[in-house]
Chains A and B, each alone.
Chain A
Amino acid sequence: MNFNSIEYLIFIPALFLCLYLAGERFRWLVLLGASCYFYLTLKHLYLLVALVGVAAVSYACGIAMDKCRFARGKSALFWGGVTANLSVLIGMKYLPFLERNLNLLLGEFSPRLSVPEGRLLVSIGVSYFVFQAVSYLIDIYLEIERPERHFGYFALYLAFFPKLLQGPIERAGDLLPQLKSSAGFNQESFRAGLLQFGWGLFKKAVVADRLALYVDTVYGDLHAYSGLTLLVATYLYALQLYYDFSGYTDMALGTARMLNVRLTQNFNAPYLSRSIAEFWRRWHISFSRWILDYIFKPLQMQLRDRRNFGTALALLVTFLVSGIWHGASWCFVIWGALHGIYLAASVFYKPLQKKIYKRLGLEKSRVQQVWQTVVTFHLVCFAWIFFRAASVPDALYVVRHLFDGASGVTELLTAHGSTDLAIVAFSLPVIWLVHLARERFAAGRDFFAAPALLRWGVYLGLAAGILFFNMDSNAGFIYFNF
């Protein structure tokens, strides 16, 4: 069930009715049931089986670790739990990829050598709940958190439907207390959530899906295009991906807020970042925090004797894992490696960079800020080529032909008529203005204290924007694939 589907528009009020009828005592049960139903609507029963399996193993290991008095036993339980959870992820998402590549390797030695290739399973949401389960086990093992004793609440922590398919990746310490609190319906939360949901829907249905028209035209038939057209399509993809994913996140956060639960903010104007490190503090924030806390920091500690080399190596490994997490394909591995290389290089380059800016007299100047933002954006866009292309040869084709002339851009931009182009051109500054307004006025409560005329103007404008300009596409979200 997509957030931008009619099914979902029916599901939410029906859920509120069930919550109202069930009362506070059974709130967790209704939310858990709704989450399971939500997951089942993907029509792959094994996904729910995997979710229940991961929940059961993590719950049991968490409690057993807490009770265990021996360090070795605790360690064994911890590693057992982590291995079991990661096995689910690897089995569902990576096994066919590993088998395919192993067969390629074995084929080099003898054509007779091969391993049977398994069926590629749909794994929507698996990498998110597995990462949450792993973070839960680590937090229990390090005694940062106490284990949850109520299986229902723990299962709900993993399965809570607004963040089940595409995150944010929540920590038990942040989410579980909210799910357990008896705070029921709250009018202020509800309307703030509804507004955020509407805003996310606008970004997805009006902007991202419209940008997809142009991006898919080029990336669907790459070899028919070259030069500036490829460059423009790549820029548009950067915008499409951002509005698609941040639109989804707004809808997820909005839904949760309607239910009086606050999830982690996942985006903060990432394309305004002045370095790749800053980009990762603003893009998919919950995921960045996860890999920073659970992969980078322990690795850096292990390699601390090697000083900068150790840090660079830890960054490289962390972002390789990040690439692999996004999908079982060499394109994602290269995408992750590129970000790893950017960050590792910056460890060495940063002192030199400071000196250069100082010598040029640009330190902390507006020019420096703009330059750094432009460079960072282009580095990110370059990596997106590998993220979007269907295969490594396709991505390399784009890279090789990025600067082969300027023909075809006008045809691309006018291929879908002037209305779509005008809507995109009008929407982007609107989104930008809303971002500025949210930053300046801290949105939320301030907005709801604004005069009724302004508030209703925004509500009606948003509703009209969605009704009149949406793409009618009910298209899935890009990050579902990860």
Chain B
Amino acid sequence: MSAALKTVYALIMLFAVFVVIGGKFPAFGRMFVAPEPVTYALGDQYRMCELDRFREEIQVVESAPNPPLDETEIITLGDSFFNSALGSEFFANELSKKIGLKVHNMHTSEFFEPQSYPLSYLEKIGYKEGRKRIVVLESVERSVLERAGKYNTLGVSTSNKLDALAFKVLKNSDVEYFFKHNLIVEPLGRRLKNFRFERLGIVDKSIGAYSTDPEMLFYQRDIQFSRTKKTEAMLDLTADSIATLSVTLKKRYDIDLVYMAIPDKYSVYRALVPKAEEYDRFIPRLCAKLSQRGVKNLDVYSLYSRYNKPGMPPIYYSSDTHYTALGKSILADATAELIKGLGATAGPTDRQAASDSGMRR
């Protein structure tokens, strides 16, 4: 074996060690990674594909502190839509401003997203029935069917302790991140991705479609969900599950449920994609079934459709899965209206008073 080849092998092995150390020891790794922007964020879909054409700098707003649960009668519970501070404060803070009441956002940064499952989450935090409350439960459209199937099962968020430990110890996403984003690989990788896009029209598989006028990226899972046939029986099952959750929350914790499915960006802006199939009206159909079952809900798709007109500012970021400040504000307005209609007022209310004021169905 020649000395040159030996040197190449040695360099590759050393690079592998460098990547492992850089990934596992962030203090060391940070010295070799381009610094993250402080005043703005890059869209999650941009991060998936890293195509310069779709790069946009999104303002991250510092949200006011989350008020303690004891001081609030309105709770928000949901996925990344409710925990996004892009363009404006968290949804709970925006809602609070609109309704003039404190709103507590139930959130945990744990991987298993327990906040998506109210019964499991309330059990996990040891929530006791006390003050009558309203919970605004949100789910992104593509996860509605899957999550609804688990709403009435306790413990969906808890995993085997040993497996969780193994997951923590053996997770290599940090090493993978460092490999992709270190100062040596990152510029090469980004150039390669842009070359593939500009010359061959290839984008990352996680981006299922895109439009260039206006620029807009669409998440593959959104498109996949949109193309999946949702039968009436499936919608009935989903609505039943949410209705059961609503009854259980009321019985067990004296909590009123307000449910909303936030449309995938693809559902709202699919007209930008050539040959896109027609929307199957999943959210309006589900909302109709929920109303039939007496579950308070918000048809966010129909709401957003009213604002999705030519010349109007976008409701979703072009390179991110989530809504813009405008989309969040429109939703907060409509939620505030709905909650006011339910009779939520400032100050403590007991179960009887709430019942008298018509908060029960």
Is B228 touching A17 in the complex (CB atoms < 8 A)?
no
Q: A45-B166, A468-B200, A471-B205 are in contact. Are A220 and B19 (CB under 8 A)?
A: no
Per DSSP, chain A at the interface is helix
Contact for B201 among A9, A11, A417, A471, CB less than 8 A:
A417
Q: Check A6 for interface membership: any CB of B closer than 8 A.
A: yes
Q: A43-B166, A45-B166, A467-B192 are in contact. Are A10 and B16 (CB under 8 A)?
A: yes
B5, closest chain A residue (CB): A187
Is A43 touching B167 in the complex (CB atoms < 8 A)?
yes
Is B205 touching A473 in the complex (CB atoms < 8 A)?
yes
Q: How far is the CB of B185 from chain A (nearest CB, A)?
A: 10
Residues of the A chain whose Cβ atoms lie less than 8 Å from the Cβ of B165: 45
Q: Check A280 for interface membership: any CB of B closer than 8 A.
A: no
Q: How far is the CB of A16 from chain B (nearest CB, A)?
A: 6
Report how far A167 CA is from B361 CA in the complex, Å. 59
B6, closest chain A residue (CB): A187
Report how far A415 CA is from B276 CA in the complex, Å. 10
Q: A13-B13, A17-B16, A471-B205 are in contact. Are A44 and B163 (CB under 8 A)?
A: yes
Which residues 1-56 of A have a CB within 8 angstroms of B? 1, 5-7, 9-14, 16-17, 20, 37, 40-41, 43-46
A interface footprint on B171-199 (CB within 8 Å = 1, 0 otherwise): 11001100110000000000010011000
Q: How far is the CB of A119 from chain B (nearest CB, A)?
A: 9
Is A45 touching B16 in the complex (CB atoms < 8 A)?
no
Contact for B17 among A17, A44, A46, A220, CB less than 8 A:
A17
Report how far A20 CA is from B19 CA in the complex, Å. 19
Is A43 touching B163 in the complex (CB atoms < 8 A)?
yes
Q: How far is the CB of A169 from chain B (nearest CB, A)?
A: 26
Q: Check A469 for interface membership: any CB of B closer than 8 A.
A: yes
Is A45 touching B20 in the complex (CB atoms < 8 A)?
no
Contact for A14 among B20, B163, B204, CB less than 8 A:
B20
Q: How far is the CB of A393 from chain B (nearest CB, A)?
A: 14
Count B interface residues, CB 8 Å: 37
Report how far A1 CA is from B171 CA in the complex, Å. 10
Q: A223-B229, A471-B205 are in contact. Are A6 and B179 (CB under 8 A)?
A: yes
Contact for B16 among A1, A5, A14, A217, CB less than 8 A:
A14
Task: Place the interface of chain A in its size category.
Answer: 35 or more
Is B16 touching A13 in the complex (CB atoms < 8 A)?
yes
Is A10 touching B175 in the complex (CB atoms < 8 A)?
yes
Report how far A415 CA is from B208 CA in the complex, Å. 11
Q: Check A472 for interface membership: any CB of B closer than 8 A.
A: yes
Report how far A20 CA is from B9 CA in the complex, Å. 11
Q: A467-B192, A468-B196, A472-B205 are in contact. Are A6 and B176 (CB under 8 A)?
A: yes
Q: How far is the CB of B234 from chain A (nearest CB, A)?
A: 13
Residues of the A chain whose Cβ atoms lie less than 8 Å from the Cβ of B233: none
In the A-B complex, list the 10 residue pairs whose CB atoms are closest, starting with the nearest: A13-B16, A17-B13, A473-B205, A14-B16, A472-B204, A13-B13, A43-B167, A6-B176, A45-B162, A7-B172
Using A1-B172, A10-B16, A415-B275 as known contacts, list a sample of 4 further A-B pairs with CB atoms less than 8 Å apart, ordered by residue number in A: A10-B19, A13-B16, A45-B166, A419-B201
B-binding residues in A (CB < 8 A): 1, 5-7, 9-14, 16-17, 20, 37, 40-41, 43-46, 187, 209, 217, 220-221, 223-224, 415, 417, 419, 467-469, 471-473
Q: Provide 16 A-B residue pairs closer than 8 Å at the C-beta atoms, listed in order of the A residue.
A: A5-B176, A10-B20, A13-B13, A14-B13, A16-B9, A16-B13, A40-B170, A41-B172, A45-B162, A45-B163, A220-B228, A221-B227, A415-B275, A419-B202, A471-B205, A473-B205
A-binding residues in B (CB < 8 A): 1, 5, 9, 12-17, 19-20, 162-163, 165-167, 170-172, 175-176, 179-180, 192, 195-196, 200-202, 204-206, 224, 227-229, 275
